[in-house]
Amino acid sequence: MSARHAQTIAFALLALSTLLVVLPALFMVFFLVRNGLPALSAEFLLGEPKDGMRAGGIFPAIVGSFCLVVGAITVSVPIGVLTAIYLSEYSSDSAFTRLVRLAILNLAGVPSVVYGLFGMGLFVYFLGFGQSIMAGALTLSIMNLPVIITATREALQSVPPSFREVSLALGATRWQTVRYAVLPNAIPGILTGVILEVSRAAGETAPILFTVAAFYLPGLPQSVFDPVMALPYHLYSISTQVPNISAGMRYGTALTLVGLVLSVNVVAIFLRAHLRRKRRW
Amino acid sequence: MNRWSERMIEAAIRFSGFVSIAFVVMIFLFLLTEGHALFRVTGLTDFLLGRNWHPISTPPQFGILPLLLGSLAVTAGASMMAVPLGIGTAVFIAEVAPKRLAGILKVGVELIAAIPSVVIGFVGMVLVAPVVREFFSLPVGLTAFTGSLMLALMSMPTMVSIAEDAIHAVPRQYKEAALAMGATRWQAIYRVILPAARPGILAAVMLGIGRVVGETMAVMMCTGGAVAIPSTLLQPVRTMTATIAAEMGETVRGSPHYNALFAIGIVLFLITLIINVTADLVIHRGRRDSP
């Protein structure tokens, strides 16, 4: 077999493997849209569940997920951004920095259900928050710290060193340099990280199983110490634990969840592309 | 801004470096405090190698061997599909596809990674499981194989994007030198680029596998949940993650069952810790070796 033929065959196989990665996912989304779209209505999206969740809507679950996402971001964005500033602007390449990096890597690798256990042990029992928005949002925020840190760090490092040098040469302190010369140019990248966290926090189920999620709770939460329903957990419960439920309820919930998560991601991708084009250096 | 508030902020920044380390340590400590009590009831060997997981019979038995093997079966099945396809896709995106197509594919892979695992589990249940049942004429479609299929789909984006980065990081001169010597593009990829990118690709595979081991919802919904030592991939199994997620709701805090689920958490934590640290070492050793 000539080298040319080998190349043709190899490239065909590579293209085939790419198709095998992309097509099932495309088909999956198509499948959910086709089956879920007929179920979506104003009553479904804005109504309360009725008849043991076999009818009605999913509004409390949407609101619950929204609360969790907002809570998770409020906690993890400040901590994550500060950590990234430390790693990118303050630390030298020391053993300690290496340890911080390794810790972040591990936070990113810990299984989601283990975060659930940790959140239950620390927030629900040890700190006495009970199953609540507070406990769930804190669990999700720790789980998503690596997302924010990585995105912010990349954004900070893409700001050219000359920006810092100019600022320092003008007599600014290190913090002033970070605050006025570096951070403003990194905001878009940080924003992308935040958006990605939104989508992840909205879609995770295992960390909220034992920390917040209520099986059936019509009505809306009154305080951060209330339990809530959440979209991903709702999908899990009606798929596995509620018999004789119409397929439309399930597909509608799945489509709503996928739709929300993917559209948030698409926003992040467009934002990033737009900012890359507009970059002035 | 005055000196004092500036010092406060700098202190907060320096302190935040510790936060991530503190969380990792705290996660481990909490698993340990809640899990260690199990070993007053069950020995470590009986826990890790016991063949029976009967947490609520009297006396209860807490052997996690079937769960370990369940996780292993699903992980092996998923890796067999995801590793070759993931690396193939990464090579295609990095070296073969035209630039425009490569850009679209990268976004596509990113979007696949964003699909929540509970949705993948749902599709596995309603769409894939019936097909598996018909195709292999099984009594039930919820098997280790069904779970493997769904997990392969979930772990591929991780592998593809990390492996693609690794291939991208190979210096251009390597490829140009190979092409200048008369190699075809495929020869340059196969003989020059892939060997140079090997540490990164290896790390990509490990991180993808790490994701499979820790995956919970999709696995719980698709693998059937039978606690039995599997002999083929076409049997229902129960993984460690699914056991924690499925049973924690029924336990009483402080009971041996509760402790046992945390002890499984310790095992999972340690497995993923080892995978992540090794992957990091592999990447760094690779960087030192290459010029």
Tens-place pLDDT, residues B166-184: 998 899 899 999 999 999 9
At B59, list the tokens: 């006396």
Query: Which of B107, B187, B273 minimises the CB distance to A269?
Result: B107
- Domain of B282? 44-289
- Inter-chain touch B241–A111, beta carbons under 8 Å: yes
Smallest CA-to-CA distance from B230 within B162, B172, B116, B143 is with: B143
A59-278 to CATH, choices 2.40.50.100, 3.40.228.10, 1.10.3720.10, 1.10.150.120: 1.10.3720.10
List the one residue out of B220, B73, B82, B239 whose CA is nearest residue B153: B82
Query: Are B7 and B144 members of one domain?
Result: no
Distance of alpha carbon B192 from alpha carbon B175, whole angstroms: 7
* Nearest beta carbon to residue A109 from set B1, B210, B221: B210
- Residue from the list B34, B89, B187 with its beta carbon closest to the beta carbon of A17: B89
Cβ(A74)–Cβ(B178) below 8 Å:
no
What distances in angstroms separate CA A144 from CA A106, A132, B40, B209, one per listed residue? 12, 18, 35, 20
Q: Do A106 and B276 touch (CB under 8 A)?
A: yes
Query: Does the pLDDT of residue B99 top 80, yes or no?
Result: yes
pLDDT in tens, chain A (281 residues): 688 899 999 999 999 999 999 999 999 999 999 999 998 888 888 888 877 777 788 888 999 999 999 999 999 999 999 999 999 888 877 788 888 888 998 898 899 999 999 999 999 999 999 889 999 999 999 999 998 999 899 889 888 999 999 999 999 988 899 999 999 888 888 888 888 888 889 999 999 988 987 777 777 788 888 888 899 999 998 888 887 788 888 999 999 999 999 999 998 888 888 877 777 66
Which tokens hold the place of B289? 């070796």
Shared-domain flag, residues B51 and B190: yes
Q: How confident is the model at residue B286 (pLDDT cuts 50, 70, 90)?
A: low
With CB atoms and an 8 Å threshold, state whether A113 touches B6.
Answer: no
Give the CATH number, domain containing residue B122.
Answer: 1.10.3720.10
Q: Which residue of B has its CA nearest to A180?
A: B1
For A267, name the nearest residue in chain B, comparing CA atoms only: B111
State ipTM: 0.90
Element (H, E) at B278: helix B256-289
The length of chain A in residues reads 281
- Give the domain ranges of chain A: 59-278
For the cut 70, the answer to whether the pLDDT of residue B1 exceeds it is no
The predicted structure's pLDDT at residue B11: 87
pLDDT average, residue stretch B173-201: 92
Same domain for B94 and B170: yes
Q: Are residues B150 and B275 in the same domain?
A: yes
pLDDT of B228 strictly over 60: yes
Whole-structure pTM value:
0.90
Q: What angle do CA A67, B123, A33 make, to 5 degrees?
A: 75
The confidence band for B287, taking pLDDT boundaries of 50, 70 and 90, is low
Q: Which of B91, B119, B216 sits opposite A111 (nearest CB)?
A: B216
Say what percent of chain B tops pLDDT 70. Answer: 97
Distance (Å, whole) CA A246 – CA B262:
36
For residue A281, the model assigns a pLDDT of: 62
* Region B202-212 average pLDDT: 91
Cβ–Cβ gap A122/B26 under 8 Å: yes
- Same domain membership, residue B115 and residue B15: no
Q: How many domains does chain B have?
A: 2
A109–B31 CB contact, under 8 Å? no
Contact B261 A120 (CB under 8 A): no
Q: Which of B259, B277, B273, B275 is nearest to B64 (CA)?
A: B259
Specify whether B30 is located in the same domain as B99: no
- With 0-12 CB in 10 A as exposed, 13-18 as middle and 19+ as buried, what is A15? middle
pLDDT at B289 over 50: no
- The minimum CA-CA distance between B272 and chain A, rounded to whole Å, is 6
Name chain A contacts of B156, Cβ cutoff 8 Å. Answer: 21
- Taking only the tens place, the pLDDT of each residue in B117-163 is 999 999 999 999 999 998 988 888 899 999 999 999 999 998 999 99
pLDDT of residue B291: 39
Q: How confident is the model at residue B205 (pLDDT cuts 50, 70, 90)?
A: very high
Chain A contact for B21 (CB, 8 A cutoff): yes
Residue B182, Ramachandran bin (φ over 0: left; ψ between -120 and 50: alpha; else beta):
left
Q: B17 and A254 in contact by Cβ < 8 A?
A: no
Q: Give B232 to chain A, closest Cα distance, Å.
A: 24
Q: Which of B1, B7, B10, B13 to mutate to test the interface with A (most CBs of A within 10 A)?
A: B13
Under a CB-based contact definition with an 8 Å cutoff, are residues B179 and B272 in contact?
Answer: no
Cβ contacts of B111 on chain A, cutoff 8 Å: 25, 262, 265-266, 269
Q: Are B175 and B192 within 8 A, CB to CB?
A: yes
Q: Count the neighbouring beta carbons within 10 Å of the beta carbon of residue A40.
A: 17
CA–CA separation, B216 and A114 (whole Å): 10
Cβ–Cβ contact B280 with A under 8 A: yes
* SS3 state of residue A49: strand
Burial of B276 (0-12, 13-18, 19+ CB in 10 A): buried
Show residues of chain B in contact with A200, CB under 8 Å: 114
Residues 115-174 of B with CB under 8 A from A: 115-123, 125-127, 153, 156, 160
Copy the structure tokens of residue A210: 């034992």
Confidence of residue B101 (pLDDT cuts 50, 70, 90): very high
Query: Quick check: B193 and B96 in contact, CB under 8 A?
Result: no
Q: Is residue B63 located within the same domain as residue B80?
A: yes
Query: Does residue B153 sit in the same domain as residue B28?
Result: no
**Is-contact B81 A20, C-beta < 8 A?**
no
Instruction: Collect all residues of chain B within an 8 Å Cβ-Cβ radius of residue A13.
Output: 88
SS3 B117: helix
Contacts of A11 in chain B (CB under 8 A): 92, 96, 186
For B:219-238, CB contacts with A below 8 A are 221
Give me the pLDDT at residue A123, please: 92
Q: A-B interface: how many C-beta pairs under 8 angstroms?
A: 266
- Write out chain A residues lying below 8 Å of B127, CB-based: 28, 31
Looking at the structure, do residues B8 and B110 belong to the same domain, yes or no?
no
Q: Which two tokens stand for residue B204?
A: 């990509």
* H-helix segments, B124-224: 129-135, 144-168, 172-180, 185-187, 194-214, 217-222
B34 within 8 A of B262, measured Cβ to Cβ: yes
User: B6 to chain A, minimum CA–CA distance in Å?
Assistant: 7
